[in-house]
């Protein structure tokens, strides 16, 4: 892709109001700076000042902890050996978000729901499966929808992947509906995008136009999702200020965060990368 032109007839997610199209930043392009610079960007400074915690817990598990104690978990695979916290460590959750039906992403959702009563947010087919596995609060929502949970707005976006839920007793795979990504709207004009499992797709431009996420968790591991090059294209299409690589920390994956950084540099995409260790907070 050469120099990209984006149509900016857009609406920001900020409080849901229509905003001037020029207020949405253009695709990030730059010359040759290192994309792994640790210098805090505007949004990282704001997250820090607001007291929010954006934490990667390994694989695709992300915790968003607000300064007032509200806490969300996305794709909560806490039983993953690389995850530094376990179900027993969780005391409060206000929402559990599941991107799609694969078991590493449904993870420990049912256990966590039973422990905390937190509602589980997923497309209808995954919600229905979870209701059959003891989850009692799974509001109806689907792609394109935005709901309020615990006073936070959560938008479901499309993803390019598959979704199915394995029935352990029969071995059958139940239909899991369409896979999803999420944009979580945090207080203070901070929007965090979690891509779920996905390839890059051109409609990421629409996610940018609708929600203008500044921080994005992107899979980079290749093999079952996009790899470093696709993720670099995604960061560009989304206009991310900060990208955090995920979904690479299993032996079968070939894509690495370092290759992701290199692809961003090659494409001259002005997105800063934060390579976090499991349990590390964005700072």
Between 27 and 181, CB nearer to Zn ion: 181
Between 178 and 197, CB nearer to Zn ion: 197
Interface residue with Zn ion among 197, 229, 236, 270 (CB under 5 A) is 197
Count the site residues for Zn ion by CB under 5 A.
Answer: 2
Q: Rounded distance, CA 155 to CA 180, Å?
A: 10
Q: Rounded distance, CA 236 to CA 207, Å?
A: 12
Q: Rounded distance, CA 240 to CA 28, Å?
A: 7
The minimum distance between CB 199 and Zn ion, in angstroms, equals 11
For residues 89-108, which are near Zn ion according to CB under 5 A?
A: 102
SS3 of 101, please?
Answer: coil
Between 197 and 236, CB nearer to Zn ion: 197
Asked if 178 touches Zn ion (CB under 5 A), the answer is no
The minimum distance between CB 165 and Zn ion, in angstroms, equals 11
Between 179 and 239, CB nearer to Zn ion: 179
Asked if 113 touches Zn ion (CB under 5 A), the answer is no
The minimum distance between CB 37 and Zn ion, in angstroms, equals 31
The minimum distance between CB 152 and Zn ion, in angstroms, equals 25
Exposure string over 85-94, b if 16+ CB within 10 A, otherwise e = bebeebeebb
Asked if 247 touches Zn ion (CB under 5 A), the answer is no
H or E stretch including 114? helix 109-116
Q: Rounded distance, CA 137 to CA 125, Å?
A: 14
Whether residue 211 contacts residue 231, with contact meaning beta carbons closer than 8 Å, is answered with: no
Binding-site ranges for Zn ion (CB under 5 A): 102, 197
């Amino acid at each position: 892709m050469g120099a990209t032109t984006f149509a900016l007839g857009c609406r920001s997610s900020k409080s849901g109001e229509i905003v001037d199209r020029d207020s949405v930043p253009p695709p990030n392009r730059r010359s040759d700076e290192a994309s792994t610079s640790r210098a805090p960007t505007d949004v990282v400074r704001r997250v820090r000042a607001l007291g929010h915690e954006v934490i990667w817990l390994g694989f695709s598990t992300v915790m968003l902890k607000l300064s007032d104690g509200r806490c969300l978990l996305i794709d909560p695979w806490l039983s993953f050996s690389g995850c530094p916290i376990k179900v027993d460590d969780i005391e409060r959750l206000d929402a559990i978000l599941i991107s799609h039906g694969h078991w590493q992403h449904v993870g420990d959702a049912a256990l966590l729901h039973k422990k905390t009563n937190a509602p589980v947010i997923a497309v209808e087919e995954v919600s229905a499966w979870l209701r059959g596995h003891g989850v009692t609060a799974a509001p109806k929502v689907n792609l394109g929808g935005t709901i309020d949970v615990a006073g936070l707005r959560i938008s479901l976006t499309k993803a390019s992947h598959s979704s199915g839920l394995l029935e352990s007793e029969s071995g059958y795979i139940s239909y899991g509906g369409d896979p999803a990504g999420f944009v979580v709207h945090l207080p203070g004009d901070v929007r965090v995008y979690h891509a779920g499992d996905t390839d890059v797709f051109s409609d990421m431009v629409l996610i940018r136009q609708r929600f203008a996420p500044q921080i994005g968790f992107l899979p980079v591991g290749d093999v079952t999702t996009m790899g470093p090059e696709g993720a670099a294209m995604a960061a560009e299409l989304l206009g991310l200020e900060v990208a955090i690589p995920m979904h690479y920390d299993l032996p079968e994956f070939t894509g690495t965060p370092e290759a992701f950084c290199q692809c961003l540099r090659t494409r001259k995409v002005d997105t800063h990368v934060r390579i976090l260790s499991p349990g590390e907070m964005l700072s």
